[in-house]
């Protein structure tokens, strides 16, 4: 009985863990951390370092977008679940 209740609880919590991770990645932007290699591509952001201004990949943004899509997929599965414990 307790196991089924835990599985049901996890089915409802797990999608929100993904969206929390999505929003948490923006802390990396404000702290100027978790950025990628230097680049000249279309997808870049500029930061000021000790060595001067550089343009880098915004890897925090890539992760935020991917975890948002994970949230959307998990919410879809949450609505379509046929038994407890299917989402996680």
- Cβ contact 88:11 at 8 Å: yes
In this prediction, residues 25-40 reach a mean pLDDT of: 86
8/3: higher pLDDT: 8
Q: From the CB of residue 88, how many other CB atoms can be counted at a distance below 10 Å? A: 15
Phi, psi at residue 20, to the nearest 5°? -65, -40
Query: Does the structure show a pLDDT above 80 at 86?
Result: no
CA distances (Å), origin 15, targets 58, 59, 61, 81, 86:
24, 22, 19, 13, 12
pTM: 0.75
Per-residue pLDDT band at 16 (split at 50, 70, 90): very high
Query: Does the structure show a pLDDT above 80 at 12?
Result: yes
4/29: higher pLDDT: 29
pLDDT recorded at residue 80: 73
Per-residue pLDDT band at 71 (split at 50, 70, 90): very high
CA distance 53 to 66: 28
């Amino acid at each position: 009985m307790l196991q089924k209740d835990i599985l049901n609880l996890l089915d409802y919590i797990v999608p929100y863990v993904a969206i929390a991770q999505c929003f948490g990645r923006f802390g990396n932007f404000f702290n100027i951390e978790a950025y990628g290699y230097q680049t000249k591509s279309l997808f870049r952001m500029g930061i000021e370092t000790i060595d001067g201004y550089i343009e880098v990949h915004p890897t925090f943004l890539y992760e935020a977008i991917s975890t948002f899509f994970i949230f959307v997929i998990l919410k879809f599965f949450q609505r379509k679940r046929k038994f407890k414990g299917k989402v996680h």
